[in-house]
Each structure stands twice: as C-alpha cells, then as structure tokens.
A and B are shown apart, each in its own frame.
Chain A
Amino acid sequence: MRRVVVTGIGVVSAIGNTLPEFWASLSNGTTGIAPLTIADPGRFRFKRAAEVRGYDPLQHFDEKRADLLDRFAQFAVVAARAAVADAAVVWTPQLRERTAVITGSCTGGQSSEDAGFFHLYHERRPNVHPLTIPRTMANAGASHVTVEFGITGPSFTVSTACASATHALGQAFWLVRSGAVDMALAGGSEAPFSLGNLKAWDALRVVSADTCRPFSRNRSGMILGEGAAMLVLESHEAARARGARIWGEVVGFGMSSDAGHITQPNAEGAARAMRLALEDARLAPEAVGYVNAHGTGTAANDVTETQAIRALFGGHADVLAVSSTKAMHGHALGAAGALEAAATLLALHHGVLPPTVNYEEPDPQCALDVVPNQARPASVQHALSNSFAFGGMNAVLAFGAPR
C-alpha cells in the first residue's frame, strides 16, 4: 500500500476565496460569520451566516457555462481549478484515466430546484426551467470537474450530510493508497442558501440566533456556511518524483454509524470512528497532537464530542489541542469536511493551530484545550479531522505533517 500525500488545495469560503486568504483568516482567528445578506434575516430566528463574499460567477465562467452550473457546482469547479494549479498537475492521457473525482454534497443544486419550484407553485407557471435537473443533481459538481480537466477515471458524489466531504476524501485516500487510481481530486461543495432550505434549518432549531461558539458554555447552535474545498491526492512517491510541494500526508480514515437517533449524536459512535481512523493509520492515540473537531456549536454535538475524545484519548486528552474552525468558516455542510481537512493540513504544514473563536465561557462538560480565540504555534506531527453527521454517520481522517 502506498503512502498518500496532498499536493494541492483549493478553497472557496466565507474566510477567503484563495488559499493564502483562507490560511491568513485561520491563523488570525478572523471569522467569516456576518449578518445574513443572501436572504432576508427578518424571516428567520437566526440572523447570521458564513457567506462567500466577493464571488462573481462571470469572473470564472462564460455566460453559457454559468447557465449550466448551480452555485454549488460553480464552487466545486473553482476550488478544483485552484487545487490543480496549486499542485501543478501535469496532465497526460494516462493520468486522466487514472484520476478519480469524488465530491461530497448534502443538497447539491437545491437553489436551482427552489427557484424552479417557486415558478411552479407560487407563480403557477406551467414548467420549471429544463436545466433544473442537470443543475440540481448532487453529482453535478464532480461531473463538471471531470469535464473541466478531461478526467475519465472513476467519479462519484457522496452524500452523508455534514460528513459528506470527509467520506469523499476518505474514499479518495483509499483508492490512491490501494493503487486503484494514481491521483484523486476530492472534497466537497455546498451552496444551501435558498429561502426554502434556510426555513427548513430554522425549523429544526439548531441554528443559533447569536453566533457559533463551539465548546463555550453559552453556545446556542450552529451557523450555516457555504463554499467548497478540493484537494489533490497522489502517492508520496509520485509527488517526490515530480518535485511537487507536499502539504501533508493522509494517513488514516475511519467510519462508523451511531445506529441511534436521526439527529442526536452518540459518543460511542464518534469514538469508534476516531479509533478506526487511528488503527487505519497504525497510530497510537498519544501520537495525535491536534484534533479539528466537528464542533458545530450545538448543545448536543460539543458535549458528545468531548465525551468521545475523552473516552478514546484518556489522560492524553488533557494535553491534546482540539479546535473547531466552524466558528470561522461556518458549518458548510457537504463542504465542511473538505474545508476542515484543508485547515488541518495547513495547520500541520505551518506549525500553527487555528483557534476556536467566539469562545466566551468554559463549559465544564466540554473540558478540553480548545485553543481559545487565538491561534497557537505548535509543532504537531499528527492530527485528526472529525465529522459527525445527522443520521449518525461518522467519518474521521488522520493526517501527518510532511516529512
């Protein structure tokens, strides 16, 4: 089995649409959570979101192409382009056949669907736009990425709610590691801000009317985000041979199901996924220096995740740094796992741990070193990135610093 490294990263997010901006925000503790502009905040209990800013589709696509792409698919292509450029991939016909494209998305192009249904149900027009299906389908992001680069290898989209991109990256890692493919372009994208979808989230009462304060005693829920991150994965040997810059290594992937409640998380399931990621990586728990938490800022997740971490790491949890970057880039749903994988790799590469911002009061039920409010220089060799999704689907990636 081959060692797998990440040689390219591309992002579109509330804290930066380029990798340098993204990292600058993470290391400065700058949040992208701001008053909602993409919909009327008067219609919801919550008032804030982590929206992508300064993004104009026509700067990236001509009108004709833009027409085919829902915002979520646009984000996937823009992030993929950046990742491929960052990795300085040299395409050959053989590589195109031996590359996989795997994306995660929760709702795909639901904004296009929402607009179509508005015409149908509200305006009582006889039809929806014929491009509704190709725009809405959750695999549109991955498909357009294959078209962009002429990739003829395996491609598919994974849908596991908030863990989608982590599952996608995990599958990509295993495919490269096993030699089934030589390269993978993997990650996730999400653009969930249609009125209907926002209303659905509002009704669930998990989005905070305040802001996202993971692990803080006065936390009151998550904040929704949008965006995309795509990563280029290839074998360590291939990367070295072509002189590519290595951000870090993917060393393990673990998955589990809670088999419990459809929305409430479960510490056993979460701990099991982390343990399996470590076993896949052949790492002892004590080898981990940093965990990028799922850390949504909900009452339920943060305490359950703390229990899971304490159960798995035991005494080591006293010295383990655990932060949630969702307080900066928001909960980007199907893109979350990819944004967080990017954040974790950058943290290992730069030797700086991103903070949990908006942290105000310690919660005795979340007794962890959450790297409160300020980034911290730290030379860490191994890290985990957690995603614990609705439906009890858990996915954890283990990363290693470049060596």
Chain B
Amino acid sequence: MPEPDDLALDRLVHEPGRLAILTVLSSVRTADFVFLQRATGLTKGNLSSHLTKLETAGLIEIEKRFVRKKPNTSAALTALGRTRIARHWEQLDRLKSLARTPAP
C-alpha cells in the first residue's frame, strides 16, 4: 500500500488553471499570453495571476517585450517546471490506476 506522502499532489501545480498552463507549456519552447489564453480558456486576469505565481515559484520564466509597439508576454517552462509537471501527471496516473485496482 503506498504511503500517504507518495500520493500527495503538488498543490501549486494541481490548481486547474495552472495545471492547464504548465501542460500547454510542456509541449513547446515558448508560448505567448494570447496563445495561452486561447488554449486554456482563462480570462486575462486569471491567466496573469497564475503566471505570476508560477514565475515566483520558479516553474516558468516570463519575457516581456514590445512587438509593433504593443506589449507582448511570453512564457517558458524552467527545468524545475518541467520536472514538477511531469511528476504531477505521473502522480495523477498512479492515483487513477490505484482507483481502478479492486479492493482486497
């Protein structure tokens, strides 16, 4: 029987909005704010708030620049971010397989 700590979920990553952001970023080098908003369906305010939290925790890097005089924000996973999101999905898969295991 797995220890309780083995099943503990990463609370920072597990929030649905942040999980969606990190999952999208896990498949590319960088994605800008508009694309992340499209892919996750989050509002501008929500997305901005989550990106700030993730950047503060060191899971993503944010670059801000101007493109045609308009501000453009793009994000990329850090090495820590890649590890944490991969581990989180593994954890969820483990929980799913445990849930399917018939009780003794």
Do A and B make up one complex?
no
A interface residues, Cβ below 8 angstroms from B? none
B interface residues, Cβ below 8 angstroms from A? none
